[in-house]
Chains A and B, each alone.
Chain A
Amino acid sequence: LTPGNPKWKRNDLTYRILNYTPKMRQADVEKAVQKALSVWSNVTPLTFKKVDDREADIMISFAYRDHKDNSPFDGPNGQLAHAFQPGEGIGGDVHLDEEEDWSKDGRGYNLFIVLAHELGHSLGLSHSNDPGALMYPSYSYTAPNEFLLPQDDIDGIQAIYGQSSAAVQPTGPVTPQPCDPNLTFDAIATLRGEIMFFKGRYMLRKHPERAETELNFVSLFWPKLPSGIQATYENIERDEVLLFKEDKYWVLRGYDIAPGYPKPIYRLGFPKTVKRVNAAYNDETTGKTYFFIADRYWRYDENKKSMDHGYPRKIVSDFGKIGRVDAAFQKDGYVYFFRGTTQFQFDPRAKRIVRQMKSISWFNC
């Protein structure tokens, strides 16, 4: 919250778009503004009405370098925008750096994301040090159609204006903490000696030689990948990682998404009854990849590029009490299966579970 706890005395606020950027269609700018305002009106009693011919509470404009508010912009990149806390006159106003490469998608800087952040200031919020929060100072891209206001921001704005009148209170994504004992994973894969743990729109990156765990947005590395990846595995021999979501998959070649993806999972030989993959790992010694779906699994031959006969089989038949699997990866000859907050170390030679740990055992907690 901003020191002094400034807030608007009314809930019905007005806004006005004073000018536009030549880098976007006017209609796209207006859409970005409306969507950014709805981020906050969806979780509070606030309403925003557009006015065109008079002073509004929130005046939105694109400005160049020194624009007479004692906070000059600095040209492309660096400072993208700023906004003023609630109050008369300049209070609540949003200034966007005209020299930035504004866009409605992942190119340059997404106008919707920046506006939603600045409007947080216009309503009385300051910066959050939660790296997943909208009010975090540094820019990071989230596809607008995938954007969900994080819980940290919902808590902040509701502390000022109260909850929305909706029957069911909206909740938002919480930034994963590596040492949270309740942390679970959507998918896990090795990648050139590192281990990538996927969770929602985040990826925890662990290098065996580094003590700390790096938390990043998936979109920071791969803007074209959706959040919510459900299964991944590395084919070390081909230096590829395959990533699965619903009935599609992408291929990472090295660190880049290969062109021509996503492709349907049915190209790998799955029947149409399979709608998504829960987990996968590749056994580099045999060249076989194991896909886990519900309580069954398939085995795929990477050399023949086809599913082996006699599958699917029941997971419990060959992997013991593990049952269903959230995520899996192979490292140093062992397979690590994750289900909820539990991790099983499986020895494929002895065909049995040799150890059971917490899912967060890799993060030196």
Chain B
Amino acid sequence: LPVSPEAEDERKTLQLVESYLQNFYNLQKDQKPHLRTKGDNPIVEKLKEMQAFFGLQVTGKPDLDTLEIMKKSRCGVPDVGEYS
């Protein structure tokens, strides 16, 4: 069935969030991220870490302000942890 535009958008958003957090916040690649599940979901925790760093509202959700920052061109060095 053709993917509905909303589902396509959500997939792209998840992809953007996932790669940003993997590149700059040490989200492990093998974790199956889900934006919706409750509990200590690693992607939600990392999202909160990124939002705290940038002084955004720490919601754990990919809101507009968060996605706007994720779309900005930037340095490839992670914002947290070792880089060598």
Given contacts A3-B81, A87-B84, contact A139 B76 (CB under 8 A): no
What 6 new A-B contacts, CB under 8 Å, besides A79-B23, A80-B74, A121-B75?
Answer: A78-B74, A83-B77, A84-B84, A121-B77, A127-B53, A138-B74
Residues of B within 8 A of A (CB): 23-24, 53-55, 69, 72-77, 79, 81-84
Q: B83, A84: Cβ atoms under 8 Å?
A: yes
Contact B75 A79 (CB under 8 A): yes
A248 CB to nearest chain B CB (Å): 31
- Per DSSP, chain A at the interface is loop
Q: Which residue of B lies closest to A95 (CB)?
A: B76
Residues in A with CB closer than 8 Å to B53 are: 127, 129
A-chain residues with CB within 8 Å of residue B74 when the two chains form the complex:
78-80, 137-139
Q: How far is the CA of A129 from the CA of B82 in the complex (A)?
A: 17
Is A85 in contact with chain B by the CB < 8 A criterion? yes
- Contact at B76–A80, with CB atoms within 8 Å? yes
Contacts of A84 in B (CB 8 A): 83-84
The 3 closest A-B pairs by CB, nearest first: A82-B76, A79-B76, A138-B72
- Tell me if A362 counts as interface (CB < 8 A to partner B): no
Summarize B's interface: helix, strand, loop or mixed.
Answer: loop
CA distance A63 to B84 in the complex (A): 17
The tally of CB-CB contacts under 8 A between chains A and B is 63
Total chain A interface residues with beta-carbon distance under 8 A: 29
A-B contact pairs, 30 of them (CB 8 A): A2-B83, A3-B81, A3-B82, A79-B73, A79-B75, A80-B73, A81-B76, A82-B77, A82-B83, A83-B77, A84-B84, A85-B83, A85-B84, A87-B84, A109-B73, A117-B75, A118-B77, A121-B77, A121-B83, A127-B53, A127-B75, A127-B79, A129-B53, A129-B55, A137-B75, A137-B77, A137-B79, A138-B73, A139-B73, A139-B75
The CA of A78 and the CA of B69, in the complex, are separated in Å by: 11
Q: Are B24 and A137 in contact (CB under 8 A)?
A: yes
Q: Which residues of B contact A82 (CB under 8 A)?
A: 75-77, 83
Closest residue on chain B to residue A125 by CB atoms: B77
Which among A80, A97, A127, A139 has the highest number of chain B CB atoms within 10 Å?
A: A127
- The residue in chain B whose Cβ has the minimal distance to the Cβ of A212 is B57
